[in-house]
């Protein structure tokens, strides 16, 4: 379950940001998880709740924003958000595409006191 190592890295990043901003605690953590990231949101939530206790995030609210797959079509120069995992352009049905969002997990924002 790699969500535990992801959360440990996330909590370390929160600690660093809190120190850099002279904050005593983090009250909200917002992440964006792409559907192709390989991160399971429910497991990530459980891991965050488990490991946050001894950190500056001990009372933090954890918000997960789900990112659908966004593609760019090289044939019709259109950007589209895919509703299904069908990797072709919904406009022209070309498979000459590039995934431009939905593959990663990002720390989007922190609220600190």
Binding-site residues sit at 2, 73, 76, 89, 92
Helices 41-51, 3-20: crossing angle, 10 deg rounding: 50
Which 8-state DSSP code applies to residue 91? T
The binding site for Zn(2+) consists of: 73, 76, 89, 92
Which 8-state DSSP code applies to residue 42? H
The binding site for Ni(2+) consists of: 2
State how far the alpha carbon of 65 is from the alpha carbons of 34, 55, 90, 91, in Å.
9, 22, 24, 26
């Amino acid at each position: 379950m790699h969500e535990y190592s992801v959360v440990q890295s996330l909590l370390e990043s929160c600690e660093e940001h809190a120190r850099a901003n002279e904050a005593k605690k983090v009250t909200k953590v917002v992440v964006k998880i792409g559907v192709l990231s390989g991160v399971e949101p429910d497991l990530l939530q459980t891991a965050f709740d488990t490991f946050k206790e001894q950190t500056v995030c001990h009372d933090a609210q954890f918000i997960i924003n789900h990112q659908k797959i966004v593609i760019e079509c090289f044939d019709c120069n259109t950007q589209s958000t895919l509703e299904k995992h069908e990797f072709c352009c919904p406009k022209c049905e070309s498979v000459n595409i590039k995934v431009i969002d939905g593959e990663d997990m990002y720390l989007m924002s922190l609220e600190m006191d």
